[in-house]
Amino acid sequence: MHRIVLDVDTGVDDALAIAYAVRSSALDILGITTCFGNVPVEHATRNTLHVLERLGAAGVPVAMGEAAPLFHPSMKSYPVQFHGENGLGNLAFPDPAAKPVSTSAAAFMVDQIRRYPKQVTLICVGPLTNLAAAILQAPEISSLVRQIIVMGGAVGVAGNRRMHAEANVYSDPEAAQLVFQSGAPITLVGLDVTMQTELSLEDIQRWRDLDSDLTRFLADMTSYYIGGYREAYGDRTGCALHDPLAVAVAIDPTLVEVQPMVLQVDLEGIHSYGRTIADLRPRCTDQPNVNVCIGVDAKRFQEHFMETLMK
């Protein structure tokens, strides 16, 4: 089994990613770390604990992380249209019985990577603030981590938070740049591939037909998310599976095609702050720092995702 730490800003698609990871027999979840992003970090933590409880996985340690970007003030606006005020499509639920562990998210990441050198895959599906804080605390983790899979960025396609910037990178661009320049082995699962994936209304109906406590919850929460997609992208009938695709890449890297690139985050542009920019010049002699996903077998991934969550 593949040891992972999942870093989330739970959010609907983060919740789907957690469910997918917990139900996958290929992954050993050492813990989940939480960050601000789709919602404030306290909500992300509460949501994460609740989703784990629903999955019967309340024993998975949860470490609460950063409440704001590392180097600039928080933008204080959350994507309510997609995730709802509470991050889980406004579904009401009681306070989870489990509490977060006493270590911070960054310290938790450092501890796990030191404990299992070259064995831990970090799957980061929120702003990269926790990971940047971990690298600042213990720079050696960049060479001790097995792999970092990041859901974030948009290299050859439009942004979703700003015209060029994807939401996770835009939420803390300096943190993302610090991570990308850290020398760690990074795979970027950006909008280039995640926007090719889709969870459809028929899939939601399959969950409703199964009628278990978990699949009813997944269907209700994801219906809200799809509503947001309909408003934002008139031509879509379902929603993209951003964060679950990052989990899928840990389970089966053959689902994506990657290209090593020299990648930077724009930290100064008026219109492009937070944009992920690749140096694609043939004469560029810099060493590639990120493996960027440029293709995905969306159908095979979606089938595996549904199959895993219908078990």
Of residues 66 and 166, the one with the C-beta less far from ligand BDR: 166
Q: Per residue in 121-143, is it b (16+ CB within 10 Å) or e — as a string?
A: bbbbbbbbbbbbbbbeebeebbe
Q: Do residues 124 and 150 lie in contact, with contact meaning Cβ atoms separated by under 8 Å?
A: yes
Distance CA 236, CA 200 (A): 9
Phi, psi of 172 (to 5 degrees): -155, 75
Q: Using the rule CB under 5 A, is 172 a contact of Ca ion?
A: no
User: Of these, 69, 79, 96, 126, which contacts Ca ion (CB under 5 A)?
Assistant: 126
The catalytic residue among 43, 83, 164, 242 is: 242
Whether 242 is catalytic is yes
Per-residue contact string for residues 19-38; x = within reach of ligand BDR by CB under 6 A:
-------------------x
User: Of these, 4, 5, 7, 11, which contacts ligand BDR (CB under 6 A)?
Assistant: 11
Segment lying near ligand BDR (by CB under 6 A), choices 48-56, 64-72, 115-123, 165-173: 165-173
CB of 231 to ligand BDR, least distance (A): 15
Per-residue contact string for residues 223-242; x = within reach of ligand BDR by CB under 6 A:
-------------------x
Q: Which of 85, 46, 43, 40 is nearest to 62 (CA)?
A: 46
Q: Using the rule CB under 6 A, is 168 a contact of ligand BDR?
A: yes
First to last CA, the chain: 19
Of residues 40 and 269, the one with the C-beta less far from Ca ion: 40
User: Of these, 166, 172, 203, 266, which contacts ligand BDR (CB under 6 A)?
Assistant: 166
User: How many Cβ atoms are within 10 Å of 80's Cβ, its own excluded?
Assistant: 14
Q: Using the rule CB under 6 A, is 66 a contact of ligand BDR?
A: no
Q: Using the rule CB under 6 A, is 7 a contact of ligand BDR?
A: no
Q: Which of 47, 25, 21, 24 is nearest to 34 (CA)?
A: 47
User: Of these, 5, 6, 7, 11, which contacts Ca ion (CB under 5 A)?
Assistant: 11
Q: Do residues 250 and 121 lie in contact, with contact meaning Cβ atoms separated by under 8 Å?
A: yes
User: Contacts with Ca ion in 272-311 (CB under 5 A)?
Assistant: none
Q: Using the rule CB under 6 A, is 167 a contact of ligand BDR?
A: yes
Q: Using the rule CB under 6 A, is 172 a contact of ligand BDR?
A: no
Distance CA 8, CA 15 (A): 9
DSSP tally for the chain: helices H, then strands E:
13, 10
Q: Using the rule CB under 6 A, is 192 a contact of ligand BDR?
A: no
Tokens (6 digits) for 37 = 């992003």
Sign for the CA dihedral angle at 133, 135, 136, 138 comes to positive
The catalytic site residues sit at 242
Residues near ligand BDR (CB under 6 A) are 11, 13-14, 38, 79, 125, 151, 160, 166-168, 242-243
Residues near Ca ion (CB under 5 A) are 9, 11, 14, 125-126, 243
